[in-house]
Amino acid sequence: LMRADPRAAIAMWSKIQTATAKSQAIREGGKAVLGEADLVELKDLLKRFDGIAKRRNTVVHGLWGTTPEWPDCLVWAPAEVTTNTMLGLLEQPLAGKGDEFIEHQKKQFVVWGGNRFDELFDEILALIEDLGRFVTHQHMASIMSRMSGLVSTA
């Protein structure tokens, strides 16, 4: 994007730790070098990335498990639900609400079958393809611009 020396770009890029920081760095780089149409396209791609990254973080940082009720699926709950469940299990039996509390918490768990993973993976793959086209388009435009500067009009 910035047409920097690849070794320097890789060295700098590898030091940016979070997906959010990388997305922000790409946005700022795009503002510096892209025309309006390409910048709009880049922003749209990064918006898709941000949405997928948020879903990825939610999925990865939840609690996963299995149950005989759904032998071909995984059961998942967000981290805050599992924390609240554990704290509630300690508190609710003392108040005589243990079974009621457990039934309420079970409703917050999500069953993941293969198609839910497929949907997320399909979104990721589609984004990768679109990013690849965008980067290739930008790379080719840069090469053509450099070549036109080498061609003499005399």
pLDDT of residue 112: 72
Rg (CA), the chain: 24
Residues 94-144 pLDDT 10s: 566 667 777 777 776 777 766 677 888 888 899 989 888 888 776 666 656
**Global pTM?**
0.62
> C-alpha angle 34/39/44, rounded to 5°?
155
Q: Identify the band that residue 93 occupies on the pLDDT scale cut at 50, 70 and 90.
A: low
> Residue 2 to residues 12, 13, 32, 104: CA-CA distances in angstroms?
12, 12, 8, 52
Q: Identify the band that residue 4 occupies on the pLDDT scale cut at 50, 70 and 90.
A: confident
Residues 36-60 pLDDT 10s: 888 899 999 999 999 988 888 888 8
